[in-house]
Amino acid sequence: MKLAVLFSGGKDSAYALFKAMQKEEVACLISILSENKESFMFHTPNIEITKLQAEAIGLPLIQKLTPGEKEKELEDLKAAIQEAKEKFGIGGVVTGAIESVYQASRVQRICNDLNLWCFNPLWLKGQESLLYEILKNNFKVIISGVFAYPLNKEWLGRALDEETVKELVKLREKYKISPSGEGGEIETTVLDAPFFKKSIEILESEVKAGRDSGIFIIKKARLAEK
């Protein structure tokens, strides 16, 4: 079966892509670029980098812009999935949802409307074990957004490694945050993975941070040989 992967460029959608590739043929990636940075549905930090990531992976990318209005943004997602169905003959859609019923239920509804299978390979996986799986499979990931106390600008641009995971788990115990960012506390950007034919090299970046939130903006990047 041919699949389309809802791809934000973050660790969860990239790892879901990795899992899907092991079982079926991935025909394309779909990225939704939301003008609303507070979108309920879509990851926003560095979403523009998905074009470069798709090139690094070697898969076609369907990108759609949405104003990001709650619920209305789903029509833009549906249009992108419909395009993937018509252009690539997909029979299913893959998401990186772990615990978000809000997101998973809405994608499932769209898939039902379009007579497509909805595959959530990370659904209800333990967050700590998922992070270690991602590291074990040699993903290169950076933290590109923080949105909860006590996370601050010192976390932005930081590599997701074993020490970082240990610290996030400790913060869960003390502050009840989600180590994988499933509650919106953290956003990430993938710079390399086993299925990347080239890695992404950051040439220019900027940190914008307030008291308990901030983003690491990739202003310029290029593909590099591995």
Q: How many helices (H) and strands (E) does the chain have?
A: 6, 9
Q: Answer yes or no: is pLDDT of 44 > 90.
A: no
127-224: which CATH topology? putative n-type atp pyrophosphatase, domain 2 (3.90.1490)
Token readout for 59 is: 């898969």
CB 41 within 8 A of CB 73: yes
Q: What is the pLDDT of residue 40?
A: 61
Please state which of the ranges 11-15, 76-80, 152-156, 211-215 shows the lowest mean pLDDT: 211-215
Question: Which H helix or E strand runs over 13?
Answer: helix 11-21
Tens of pLDDT along 167-195? 999 999 999 999 999 888 999 999 999 99
Domains 2-119 and 127-224 share a fold: no
Q: Answer yes or no: is pLDDT of 53 > 80.
A: yes
Please state which of the ranges 2-6, 99-103, 107-111, 222-226 shows the lowest mean pLDDT: 99-103
Every domain of the chain and the residues it spans: 2-119, 127-224
In the CATH hierarchy, which top-level class contains the domain 2-119? alpha beta
